[in-house]
Amino acid sequence: MMHLLAVKRLIRLCGATLLMAAVCLGQAAAAKKAYTFRGKVEAVNTGTNSVTVNGEKVEGWMDAMTMGYKVDDPAVLKNVKVGDRITATVYQGDMTLHKVQVVPKSSGDSKPKK
């Protein structure tokens, strides 16, 4: 009987330890450093929920380069077109673009009409 109580206590302790570890890991993921990403869209791939972007250098995260990135919300791909300038939030250790927004074109970007 004493042995059964000891086993039950051990199981509870292991369960509590696993729960605490899961909570700590969740908090660690949420605490990753955020950066602002800017770039020009080179391609949109709805099949893979990704965009290819000629991205500017993000100090502390990545040098300027053109590469493919997954997006956190596939619905944004309906609004993004090749040639658009975008901003997004990126996180340390994560290659997904979060909160993607198309930068509105200023009046100086339009070509004069003939």
pLDDT tens digits for 21-68?
Answer: 666 555 555 578 999 999 999 999 999 999 999 999 999 889 999 999
Is residue 111 predicted with pLDDT exceeding 90? no
pTM summary value? 0.66
Residues 70, 72, 78, 82: what is their CA dihedral angle, to the nearest 10 degrees? -40
User: Which is nearest to 61 in space by CA: 84, 34, 39, 80?
Assistant: 34
**Max CA separation in the chain (angstroms):** 94
Gap between the Cα atoms of 42 and 98, Å rounded: 18
Which amino acid would we find at residue 112? P
Residue tagged 């996180």 (tokens): 91
Gap between the Cα atoms of 12 and 4, Å rounded: 12
Q: 49 phi and psi, to 5 degrees?
A: 50, 50
User: Which is nearest to 93 in space by CA: 41, 21, 31?
Assistant: 31
Residue tagged 């493919």 (tokens): 68
For position 18, what pLDDT does the model report? 65
Gap between the Cα atoms of 71 and 99, Å rounded: 8
- Residue with the bigger pLDDT between 12 and 23: it is 12
